[in-house]
Amino acid sequence: MLLSGCADNPGKPGGQGFKSPQARGSEGFQGERMKIDVTKHKLVPEHVLLSDTESKDVLKKYNVSRDSLPQIPVTDPCARMLGAKPGQIIKIIRRSQTAGSFTAYRMVVEA
C-alpha cells in the first residue's frame, strides 16, 4: 500500500526526497490528504528518507547506535509525507546561519 518508502527499493541511491508529493498521489501517507504542502514552508528544511543501506552507512560513519539519534515521531507531518515507518532514518538538510547547510539525522519513532 505504501509505495514511497525507499526501504522497499534499496537499490535506489540518494533516498527519496519529498519534493513532489503530488507525483506520488495520495498514497504517500495514510488517512486524509493534507490540505497544505508543509514541505514548501520556509521553516521546514528538506527531509530525505534513507534506505536501509544508507542508514547503516550513516550509523557507521558517526559510530552511533540507532537509539542515540534524535527522534522524529511517525505522526510528524514531514515524516507522514515521506511515508516513513518506525525504525527508519530521515536525513534532514538544514539551512544554518553559521554553517550554510548542515545535515542532521533523526530516527522515526512511534508517537
Partner 1 sequence: MAKTTEKLKETVQKELEKMKIHIPESVVDKLVARIGRKKVSIKDLRNVLKEVAEKFAQHMIEPGEAVGIVTAQSIGEPGTQMTMRTFHYAGVAEMNVTLGLPRLIEIVDARKTPSTPMMEIHLLPKFRDDRKKVGKIASEIEITKIIDIAEVETDITNMQVIIKPDLKKIRKKEITMDNIKEKLLEKGYEIESNKSTISIKSEPSYRKLHALATEIKVMKIKGKDGVSRALIKKEPEGYVIYTEGSNFAKVLEIDGVDQTTTTTNNIYEIFEVLGIEAARNAIIDEASKTLQEQGLNVDIRHIMLVADLVTNKGTVESIGRHGVSGKKSSVLARAAFEITVNHLLNAGVVGEDEPLVGVTENIIVGQPISLGTGVVQLVYKPKR
Name which of 38, 51, 23 is nearest 80 in CA terms. 38
Q: Which residue lies nearer to partner 1 by CB, 40 or 60?
A: 40
Told to check if 96 binds partner 1 by CB under 8 A, we report yes
Comparing CB distances to partner 1, the nearer of 35 and 60 is 35
Q: Is 62 in the site for partner 1 (CB under 8 A)?
A: no
Closer of 7 and 109 to partner 1 (Cβ): 109
- In the sheet that holds 16-17, the strands lie side by side as 16-17, 46-49, 89-96, 100-109, 71-73
- Binding of partner 1 by 73 (CB under 8 A): yes
Q: Which three cell numbers stand for residue 78?
A: 514531514
Q: How far is the CB of 83 from partner 1 (least distance, A)?
A: 14
Per the document, the length of the chain is 111
**What are the backbone dihedrals phi and psi of residue 51, each rounded to the nearest 5 degrees, phi first?**
-80, 170
**Binding positions for partner 1, rule: CB under 8 A:** 35-38, 40-45, 47, 70-73, 76-79, 92, 94, 96-102, 106, 109
